[in-house]
Chain A
Amino acid sequence: MFGKLDWSAIPFDQPIPLIAAAAIGVILAAVLGWITVKGHWPYLWNEWITSVDHKRIGVMYVMLGVVMLVRGFSDVMLMRTHQAAAFGASQGYLPPEHYNQIFSAHGTIMIFFGSMPFIIGLMNFVVPLQLGVRDVAFPTLNSVSFWLTASGALLTNVSLVIGEFARTGWLPYAPLSETSYSPGVGVDYYLWALQIAGVGTLMSGVNLVTTILKMRAPGMGYLRMPMFCWTALGSNMLIVAAFPILTATLAMLTLDRYLGFHFFTNEAGGNPMMFMNLIWAWGHPEVYILVLPAFGIFSEVFSTFSSKPLFGYRSMVLATLFIVVVSFTVWLHHFFTMGAGGDVNAFFGISTSVIAVGTGVKVFNWLFTMYGGRVRFDTPMLWALAFVLYFVVGGMTGVLLAVPPADFLLHNSMFLVAHFHNVIVGGVIFGAMAGYEYWFPKAFGFRLDEGWGKLAFWLTVVGTVVVFGAFYIVGLEGMTRRLQHIDNLAWYDWIMVALAGTLLIAGGVLAQIMQLVVSIRHRDRLRDETGDPWDGRSLEWITPSPPPVFNFPVLPDVHGEEAYWEIKQRAIEQQQLSEVPDYQPIEMPRNSPTGVITAFFCTFVGFALIWHIWWLAALGLVGAYVTFVVFAWRDEVEFEIPAEEVERIDRARRESRQVILERGAPA
């Protein structure tokens, strides 16, 4: 009846996951109870859960990302405290079968369910606004994408209490991940959670590529798009090209595990090395899927807070596309130590360092954006500056690892761990934080508290320097990664330093949460009345904060690279707003529960397949398919917002715009 599932799946012998799960359960029940008592369910269902508005979906993506980043950080606390207590005779408090799950879950969650939703959420929210359009190309598909990602995140977290998570690292290298060496359900959780979330990501990629290629405001040619839209285009093209590789690779491993195939097994002609090749053929582009949008965010931030257009815009576009192409030719640098020979290693070493040319160009262009500017040190700009200082170091150690003879010493060491955290935290997470601080007022209509934001910034930046500085050094001392027990006492001091740094980051996380709480409490004082709190330059700042569901009452006419800046300067020069347009009724897509219902069924499909509950899997598949058919046969697709309503909303916006006119004469 329930396949492999029985009471032994619950880890009664391990108090940590049980207590953690109980705490999460209590919090969850409290939140749900509060929503029920307050009667918020209709609002949540109509305005958020079934919403197909790209802004709402973007915000939900970011919320998922934030929650999962905190979840991934709790793994960090476990790992750091455990390693600090696992030297020599002391064994720490986590047995290998638990510790190995934690570092695997940490990587999986941070990449797939923390960083990815955060970055995709920002793209979802910002790209249509910057392009001057009303929604993405396929609004309902967008909702399906989000809920499938959430479904994958849910399955990953369910593994905490029901069964186990993968104990193989965040990329389940064969043959360790094959049934012979990992007979438990951990790898199956990994496979199905990622397959389901991966489908969502792929559809989101298709959606945003289509949006950027086919739906731009009149006059917005490719070379007038804001830099963030360009990097979003690059990132989503990479998603479309790379995620099918992941899907296929995981499907092959699934066939090995479920139906006794031999793609990656030791026996019967399987080839475990093929798994490494395939997973990194996806995995390396994935790094750029994450970091390219972050580059876009920094480009926006540098330009806005330097009160200057982005320096070398065309050069930046070229560098972005250069990175997109070259990112597919470097995957072998993840296993120089496989012994492929001098020619192969040299080729991939050189192609890897060539990527640094594109990144280097970007760094110099950001520098010259500040040159001759008026730099304001608001929190987003602080993150951007820290990013540059951080990323050049991470990039440098990356190129160092791309030199095969150096990699022979540093591969899989803590130096490598320091390197990729240096670029992913310094690039993606700092970028996400900059974007969060920068666009928060746009999304919610009030700014975030600067004091708490700056405190969070300094704690996090100093903390990460301490942690990853210690990792670099202990890596040079020869310490390797993923150690559940450490018998080399020479490494003790640096692991303690890293623990201290982790506490600083924990302080940063708390300050970041406090910032949100304090800002919500003082939202009236922090209210963004104008819709343009940072003196912005691209089209999202022409809308009120938060923007109405249709974004723009009439689609803006674009005449240059900085669409909004030019409109704003013209208005300031003439001391009057543009003419009142002729308002027309606007058709917007209807809300649809398709996404959440599909994901509901897919969660059961995933869970059932993990536990071999075949009838439930079949039932779930039928459910998901029926949901799709019902959606496909819908009659009413859109609803109309009458012209008067549009006019009313826009009149309020125009009144608030007067403030900007009076704010100052043109420079």
Chain B
Amino acid sequence: MPVAMRSRFSRSGMRVCLAAGMVLVLSACSGGIMDPAGPVAAGERTIMLDALAIMLAIVLPTMAATVAFAWWYRAGNKRATYRPDFVHSGRIELIVWSIPLLTIMFLGGVIWVGSHRLDPARPLESRVRPLEVQVVSLDWKWLFIYPQQGVASVNRLIIPAGVPVHFELTSASVLNTFFVHQLGSQIYTMNGMRSQLNLQADRPGRYYGQSAHFSGDGFSDMNFWTMAVPVGQFNNWAAAARGNGPVLSAANYRQFARQSQGVKPFTFRAVQPGLFDAVVRQQLPPAPGPETGRGGHTMTSPGDAH
């Protein structure tokens, strides 16, 4: 009788826990990486959930067996058989090695296919010609150059919805990652290197973008909004951007590359041709760091470049 009661209690307890768990996971959805807004993020979420399901199929029984074995074979349980000589079993060994091995082989297939299909450098399948965007991470702001439109935007990424975007990325100074989590795939920006990334927003919207790799004092606020807008509106924006704002020349870039924080979004009406390549090839040298740090000299607080 007590045993039956206990099991009923634990079953209902488990149901409550499961329900609570589901609520937690669902509440985590909106705006997060479980709420994809483009084909890349959606594909990655699918792979993530597939892999999770494959593993839960062994992890959950294992957890249950741990609790069950420990409880049933508790020292006080007179009904459990004590088998101190049960220390080896070829059959169990076979199962013990096979289950993880088979799971990992299966998962290995998922990894192999997924790594190639969702390689960030792989162009997206689309009938529309991709938009080119060149991204430079600076201390501590984002520069988005639109070579086809001849304009550049700071700390705000405007893209047309439904159009694939091909990003080329580099860094003016230290490592960062470019990450708009509802669109998918983050990737490192590295000085002297050119990374490739292909993303697409399926529907218009405002998506949170950030650097996901620590890059120094101004890192926390190195965020930007990504605005996915209808194609016509995008063209209007580009046309308007060409109408005002400063010019991004090499000299202006050097000034702009100095450390600063909290730069409000603005646009450059024109960009010196080949500027991005010049950054990648270090014809424009890596951006400077702070003047000095603590240790014998006065502190300089960054943020006075503007």
Considering the complex, give the chain B residue whose CB is closest to the CB of A178: B289
A466-517: which have CB < 8 Å to B?
469, 473-474, 476-478, 480-488, 490
Instruction: State how many angstroms separate the Cβ of A273 from the closest Cβ of chain B.
Output: 7
| Chain B residues within an 8 Å CB radius of A389 | 63, 66-67
Stretch at the interface among B83-91, B229-237, B242-250, B268-276: B83-91
Q: State the Cβ distance, B173 to closest chain A Cβ, in Å.
A: 7
Query: Which chain B residues border A395 with CB–CB below 8 Å?
Result: 59
- Asked if residues A413 and B212 are in contact (CB atoms below 8 Å), the reply is yes
Q: In the complex, are the beta carbons of A403 and B83 less than 8 A apart? A: no
Residues in B with CB closer than 8 Å to A151 are none
B208 contacts A478, CB within 8 Å?
A: yes
Across the interface, A309 reaches (CB within 8 A) one of B82, B87, B210, B299, namely B87
Complex-state Cα separation, A399 to B53, whole angstroms: 12
In Å, the complex CA distance between A307 and B112 comes to: 44
Contact A272 B175 (CB under 8 A): yes
Question: Which residues of the partner chain B approach A404 to less than 8 Å between Cβ atoms?
Answer: 111, 114-115, 118
Q: Is there contact, CB below 8 Å, between B114 and A409?
A: no
Given the complex, which residues of A lie within 8 Å of B2, measured CB to CB? none
The smallest C-beta distance from B51 to any residue of chain A, in angstroms, reads 5
**A631 at the B interface (CB under 8 A):** no
Q: Which of B25, B73, B184 contacts A306 (CB 8 A)?
A: B73
> Chain B residues with Cβ under 8 A from A478's Cβ?
31-33, 181-182, 208, 210
How many Å from the CB of B253 to the closest CB on chain A?
Answer: 16
User: Per-residue 0/1 for B17-57: is the Cβ within 8 Å of any A Cβ (1 yes, 0 no)?
Assistant: 00000001101101111100000010111011001100110
A374 and B115 in contact (CB under 8 A), knowing A357-B97, A477-B32, A487-B223? no
B96 touches A339 (CB 8 A): no
A367 with B69, Cβ < 8 A, contacts A180-B288, A313-B87 known: yes
**B62 located at the interface, meaning its Cβ lies under 8 Å from any Cβ of chain A in the complex:** yes
For residue A365, CB closer than 8 A to chain B, the reply is yes
Q: Within 8 Å of chain B (Cβ to Cβ): is A379?
A: no
Residues of chain B from 79 to 130 with CB closer than 8 A to chain A in the complex: 80-84, 86-89, 92-93, 95-97, 99-101, 103-104, 107-108, 110-112, 114-122
A34 interfacial by beta-carbon distance below 8 Å: no
Alpha-carbon distance A620/B5, docked complex (angstroms) = 71
B188 close to A353 (CB less than 8 A): no
Most chain A CB neighbours (cut-off 10 Å) among B69, B95, B187? B69
* Chain A residues whose C-beta falls within 8 Å of the C-beta of B122 in the assembled complex: 342
Q: CB distance B84 to A308 under 8 Å?
A: yes
Q: Residue-by-residue, is A1-42 near B (CB-CB < 8 Å gives 1, otherwise 0)?
A: 001111011010000000000000000000000000000000
A182 interface hit (Cβ, 8 Å): yes
In the bound complex, residues from chain A placing their C-beta under 8 Å from that of B96 are 312, 315, 360-361, 364-365, 368
Size bin of chain A's contact surface: 35 or more
**Distance from A90 Cβ to chain B, minimum over Cβ atoms (Å):** 13
Determine the chain A residues whose CB is within 8 A of the CB of B188 once the complex forms.
Answer: 335, 337-339
Q: Check if A557 is an interface residue, CB within 8 A of chain B.
A: no
Which of A169-177, A198-206, A225-233, A282-290 is the interface stretch?
Answer: A169-177
**Contact pick for B75, options A353, A376, A476, A477, CB 8 Å:** A376
Residue B255 at the chain A interface, CB threshold 8 Å: no
B12 at the interface (CB under 8 A from A): no
| A377 located at the interface, meaning its Cβ lies under 8 Å from any Cβ of chain B in the complex | yes
Expressed in whole angstroms, the minimum distance between the Cβ of B105 and any Cβ of chain A is 9
Q: Separation in Å of the A663 CB from the closest CB of chain B?
A: 15
B174 within 8 A of A: yes
Closest to A104 in B: B214
Q: Mark B217-236, 1 if CB is under 8 A from A, else 0.
A: 11111010000000000000
- A403 near B208 with CB under 8 A, answer no
Please indicate the chain A residues that have their CB under 8 angstroms from the CB of B95 in the complex.
364
User: Given contacts A405-B115, A667-B84, are A356 and B100 in contact (CB under 8 A)?
Assistant: yes
Are A342's CB and B119's CB within 8 A?
A: yes
Q: How far is the CB of B195 from chain A (nearest CB, A)?
A: 5
B239 at interface, CB cutoff 8 A: no
Contacts of B191 in A (CB 8 A): 175, 266, 272
Chain A: CB-nearest residue to B64: A389
CA–CA, A182 to B216, complex, Å?
A: 9
Chain B minimum-CB-distance residue to A308: B84
Q: Are A184 and B51 in contact (CB under 8 A)?
A: no
Which residues of the partner chain A approach B118 to less than 8 Å between Cβ atoms? 404-405, 408
Rounded to whole angstroms, the CA-CA distance of A370 and B67 in the bound complex is: 10
A218 within 8 A of B: no
Inter-chain residue pair count (beta carbon < 8 A): 345
State how many residues of chain B have any CB contact under 8 Å with chain A: 112
Question: Which of A241-249, A344-352, A584-592, A642-650 interfaces with chain B?
Answer: A344-352
The answer to whether B55 touches A272 (Cβ under 8 A) is no
Which B residue sits closest to A363, measured CB to CB? B62
Query: Cα distance A361–B186 when bound, in Å?
Result: 34
Chain A nearest CB from B109 CB (Å) reads 9
Are A185 and B295 in contact, with the CB atoms below 8 A?
Answer: yes
Are A8 and B297 interface neighbours, CB within 8 A? yes
Interchain CB contact (< 8 A) of B179 among A307, A341, A353, A480: A480
Contact status A490-B31, CB under 8 Å: yes
Q: Which of A175, A267, A485 contacts B221 (CB 8 A)?
A: A485
* B28 CB to nearest A CB, Å: 5
Interface residue? A47 (CB, 8 A): no
Chain A residues with CB under 8 Å of B149's CB are: none
List the B residue with the shortest CB-CB distance to A497. Answer: B24
Alpha-carbon distance A433/B127, docked complex (angstroms): 60
A-side contacts of B97, CB under 8 Å:
315, 357, 361
B282: Cβ under 8 A from any A Cβ: yes
Whether B92 pairs with A368 at a CB distance below 8 angstroms is: yes
CB atoms of B174 and A4 under 8 A apart: no
Could you tell me if B214 and A357 are in contact, using CB atoms closer than 8 angstroms? no
Alpha-carbon gap, A6 to B296, bound state (A): 5
Q: How far is the CA of A341 from the CA of B120 in the complex (A)?
A: 8
Cβ-defined contact, B190 with A273, below 8 A:
yes
Contact A183 B291 (CB under 8 A): yes
Residues of B near A463 (CB, < 8 A) are none
Nearest-CB distance from A318 to chain B (Å)?
9
Question: Hey, which chain A residues are within 8 Å of B221, CB to CB?
Answer: 485, 487
**Cβ contacts under 8 Å, B24 to chain A:** 469, 473
Contact indicator A403/B110 (Cβ below 8 Å): yes
The answer to whether A403 touches B51, judged by C-beta atoms less than 8 angstroms apart, is yes
User: Does B205 reach chain A (CB closer than 8 Å)?
Assistant: no
Contact B295 A399, beta carbon cutoff 8 Å? no
- Confirm or deny: B192 has a beta carbon within 8 angstroms of a beta carbon on chain A: yes
B55 touches A312 (CB 8 A): no
Tell me which residues across on chain B come within 8 A of A176, comparing CB atoms: 174-175, 214-216
Shortest distance in angstroms between B134's beta carbon and chain A's nearest beta carbon? 15
Return the contact of B295 from the options A164, A173, A350, A353 (Cβ within 8 A). Answer: A164
Are A483 and B55 closer than 8 Å at their CB atoms? no
The B147-166 residues at the A interface (CB cut-off 8 A) are none
Which residues from chain A contact B190 at a C-beta distance below 8 Å?
Answer: 272-273, 338
Is the Cβ of B87 less than 8 Å from the Cβ of A403? no
Q: Report how far A377 CA is from B294 CA in the complex, Å.
A: 52
**Cβ-defined contact, B174 with A374, below 8 A:** no
Contact (Cβ within 8 A) B213 A8: no
B305 within 8 A of A: no
Is the beta-carbon distance between A385 and B66 smaller than 8 angstroms? Answer: yes
Partner among A163, A311, A354, A400 whose Cβ is within 8 Å of the Cβ of B51: A400
A63 CA / B166 CA spacing, docked (Å): 55
Kindly state the separation between the CA atoms of A638 and B157 in the bound complex, as whole angstroms: 73
Q: Does B240 contact A (CB under 8 A)?
A: no
Q: How far is the CB of B220 from chain A (nearest CB, A)?
A: 4
Contact A346 B115 (CB under 8 A): yes
Please report the C-alpha to C-alpha distance between residue A350 and residue B106 in the assembled complex, in whole angstroms. 10
A373 to B111, CA, bound (A): 39
Q: Is B208's CB under 8 angstroms from A308's CB? A: no
Contacts of A169 in B (CB 8 A): 214
**A-B residue pairs in contact (CB < 8 Å), sample of 17:** A175-B174, A175-B286, A184-B293, A272-B175, A313-B88, A339-B121, A354-B104, A357-B104, A359-B100, A361-B96, A368-B96, A374-B80, A393-B59, A406-B48, A411-B177, A412-B177, A413-B33
